Amino acid sequence: MGLKDDIYKAFVKNLGEDNVNATSDGQKKVDELAKDLSKAIQTFLLAQDFKVDKLSAPVVQTSVNGVLTTPIPSTPAAVPPGGLVNLLGQGPFVIETSADVDVNQPGASMGAQNASNNSLVKLRVVKKDSE
């Protein structure tokens, strides 16, 4: 089942099965209308730009030659167990964190200003609507 089938069922429900099935021409017209509306809706959605309101994505950063590629935390609470020696000693190091976007807290992660407003999400066709 796909969007077209759902639209067809909505027409049958609204117009009545007897009216839709009265002639094969009537069935064909409702089927074509459902197919055309399905394509129109899909085309409309694919053309839209969406913004991210809230997102948390995992970020893994590694060091190169034992040198940390991420700034060292400036607050003692952010220093990992073992202190700065672990950050500056033998590598490679792996730092796991997240990149967060929240429309209600712009710049909440990684110092990004207006990360939500700068986001862009596009839809794309992954599978065709089944008829």
The tens-digit pLDDT sequence of the chain (131 residues) is 689 999 999 999 999 999 988 888 989 999 999 999 999 999 999 999 998 888 888 887 766 555 554 555 555 455 455 444 444 555 566 677 777 888 887 555 554 556 677 788 888 887 765 44
**Residue 86: its pLDDT value, please?**
46
Residues 49/52/56/58 CA torsion (nearest 10 deg) = 20
**Residue 88: its pLDDT value, please?**
52
**Residue 85: its pLDDT value, please?**
44
> Whole-structure pTM over 0.75, yes or no?
no
Burial, 95: exposed, middle or buried (Cβ in 10 Å; 0-12, 13-18, 19+)? middle
**Residue 29: its pLDDT value, please?**
93
Give me the amino acid identity at 67. V
List Cβ neighbours of 85 (8 Å cut-off, separation of 6 or more).
none
